[in-house]
């Protein structure tokens, strides 16, 4: 049974149909996958920050995080958002446990280098895989908020894309980004079309040529980092489509599939649900 890391984007969480979670639960019960869910929650965090009159500031797409902000991020991500997803899995007939990178020291993080501009923002340097294996072996789906502690037990805000990529590295499995778009769009002729397959080198070329821009850049960069460290592939799919997960696992042309090596060398793994 192959482990897959499913990252649920904050922009899509309220729009994912129940059938999507039902598919995750079904595949797990049938022994086809071992799913690990990691989620964001950016829009919900911004909404609560606004209610508390805490200013929101982004630096190159990363939220500046001070002491007040990180407490609210923890409240939203590790509280309301996390438990909402746990309920979704249970309603779909599965078993789930919600936790954050803090719980059991699941993730060890270190503060990013650009402390002056970003504040209490971290990156994961270590994952205690044994906690995840324990849950999965008991038929329980881990649902993870990415907030983590550093070596001095300081709480750090960690990007969910980076957390998902790090876990995918550890397992050497698939990394699936569930987003609010059908995949990466690139210019082909006079139209913008979905890029269904690409290698790491092709993705870097699209970035340099300006075909991949904005918030998609850090997402694909974390995917490429995971691929370089052993993740088998990264796939970006549309969370509005309840069949997208199954189709992507079967190797069908849905969303954008990114591999480190040349596609011709990797084609043999298509369809190995």
Q: What is the pLDDT of residues 156-187, one digit of tens each?
A: 999 998 999 999 999 998 999 998 888 888 87
**Which pLDDT score, from 0 to 100, does residue 273 have?**
66
Query: Is the sign of the CA dihedral 212, 213, 214, 218 positive or negative?
Result: positive
**CA geometry: angle 134, 84, 35, nearest 5 deg:** 35
Predicted local confidence at residue 271, as pLDDT: 54
- Look at the chain and report how many structural domains it folds into: 1
Low-confidence ranges of the chain (pLDDT < 70): 189, 262-273
- CATH number of the domain within which 141 lies: 3.40.1160.10
Look at residue 264 in the predicted model and tell me its pLDDT. 41
CA distance 82 to 77: 6
- The single residue listed with the structure tokens 């699936």 is 176
Burial 44-59 (b: 16+ CB within 10 A, else e): bbbeebeeeeeeeeee
With residue 125 as reference, give the H or E element that holds it: strand 121-127
Determine contact, residues 154/66, Cβ cutoff 8 Å: no
**pTM reported for the whole predicted model:** 0.90
At residue 209, φ and ψ (nearest 5 deg) are -90, 0
The span from the CA of 156 to the CA of 154, in Å, is 6
Sign of the torsion angle spanned by Cα atoms 229, 2, 223, 107 = negative
Structure tokens that stand for 134 in this block: 């324990």
**For 106-123, how does the pLDDT look when each residue is reduced to its tens digit (9 = 90+)?**
999 999 988 788 999 999
pLDDT value of position 103: 97
The pLDDT assigned to 225 comes to 86
Domain of residue 47 covers 2-269
């Amino acid at each position: 049974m192959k482990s897959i890391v499913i990252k649920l984007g904050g922009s899509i969480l309220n729009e994912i149909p129940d059938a999507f979670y039902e598919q995750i639960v079904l595949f797990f019960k049938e022994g086809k996958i071992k799913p690990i869910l990691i989620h964001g929650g950016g829009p919900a965090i911004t909404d609560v920050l606004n209610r508390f009159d805490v200013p929101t500031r982004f630096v190159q797409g990363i939220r500046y995080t001070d002491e007040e902000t990180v407490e609210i991020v923890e409240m939203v991500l590790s509280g309301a958002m996390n438990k909402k997803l746990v309920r979704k899995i249970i309603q779909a007939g599965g078993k789930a446990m919600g936790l954050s990178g803090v719980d059991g020291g699941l993730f060890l993080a270190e503060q990013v280098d650009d402390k002056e501009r970003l504040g209490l923002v971290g990156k994961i340097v270590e994952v205690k895989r044994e906690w995840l294996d324990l849950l999965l072996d008991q038929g329980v789906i881990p649902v993870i908020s990415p907030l983590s502690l550093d070596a001095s037990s300081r709480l750090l805000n960690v990007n969910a894309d980076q957390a998902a990529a790090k876990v995918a590295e550890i397992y050497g499995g698939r990394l699936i980004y569930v987003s609010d778009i059908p995949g990466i769009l690139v210019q082909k002729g006079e139209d913008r079309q979905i890029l269904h397959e690409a290698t790491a080198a092709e993705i870097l070329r699209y970035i340099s040529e300006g075909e991949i821009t904005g918030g998609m850049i850090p997402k694909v960069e974390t995917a490429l980092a995971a691929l370089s460290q052993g993740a088998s592939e990264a796939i970006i799919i549309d969370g509005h489509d309840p069949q997208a997960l199954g189709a992507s696992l079967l190797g069908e042309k849905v969303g954008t599939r990114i591999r480190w090596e040349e596609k011709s060398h990797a084609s043999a793994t298509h369809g190995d649900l």
